[in-house]
Amino acid sequence: MAKAPVAGSSKTRLAREIGVATAVRFARQATAALVARVRRDPRWQAILAASPDSSVASPFWPRGIARITQGRGDLGRRMQRIMARMPPGPVVIIGTDVPRVAPAQVWRAFRLLGTHDAVLGAAADGGYWLVGLRRRPRLLQIFAHVRWSGPHALADTLANLAGHSVGFVATLADVDDADGFRAAAADFGRRVLSGE
């Protein structure tokens, strides 16, 4: 899932702390880097779910990946819609603002869905960067009443999964603020993340 990397609508909290141009550049480069890492893996089909819907055909998205719209609603409604729209089989959704996502972690999530109803990749801030559902024998409704963009998103989602088996992949940090940006820049080099 990716939000259009444009000024005023993408990474707004980060933009307030590091500047709009740098935040937009990070969003574009982080999305492109993630797509490059996951799109050609033969173990799954990668699809970019774009928001807003009007951006789906925009030229700033990376080439060579199928694109769909996310639709309207809060994050939970949009993720539930994506889960329902995909062809049969397990589905894993990841965000694009987690520089440490690697194909091995995505594959581990799919493998865990062989024995679990759901899989989550916790984020350091109390949210999560990955969510997957087996989707059989039915599609679970796990995103209702979740407090998004805060420290309760993971706990609220786990509460919705009570009585179901849940697997976990690595806890990773997403980039929502200046501290996260600086940590990512230290790990991966300032040029890659800031466009310098």
CATH code, 182: 3.90.550.10
pLDDT (tens digit, 9 = 90+) per residue, 63-75? 989 999 999 999 9
Q: How many CB atoms lie within 10 A of CB 147?
A: 13
Mean pLDDT of 8-26: 89
Q: Look at the chain and report how many structural domains it folds into.
A: 1
Sheet strands side by side (includes 2-3): 2-3, 47-51, 66-69
Could you tell me if 119 and 83 are in contact, meaning their C-beta atoms sit under 8 angstroms apart? Answer: no
The pTM assigned to this predicted structure is: 0.91
Matching residue, tokens 């998103």: 153
| pLDDT (tens digit per residue) in 166-193 | 999 999 988 988 988 988 877 665 544 4
Residue 98 burial by Cβ neighbours in a 10 Å radius (0-12, 13-18, 19+): buried
Task: Tell me what pLDDT residue 21 has.
Answer: 92
pLDDT digits (tens, 9 = 90+) for 124-159: 889 999 999 999 999 999 999 999 988 999 999 999
Contact 53, 73 (CB under 8 A): no
Q: How do beta strands 47-51 and 91-94 pair?
A: unpaired
Whether 56 has a pLDDT exceeding 60, the answer reads: yes
Domain enclosing residue 12, as ranges: 2-194
> For 43-114, where are the alpha helices, taking DSSP H only?
75-85, 103-112
Residue 65 backbone class (left: φ over 0; alpha: ψ -120 to 50; beta: rest): beta
Q: Give percent of the chain with pLDDT exceeding 70.
A: 95
* Average pLDDT in the chain: 91
The confidence score (pLDDT) of residue 124 equals: 87
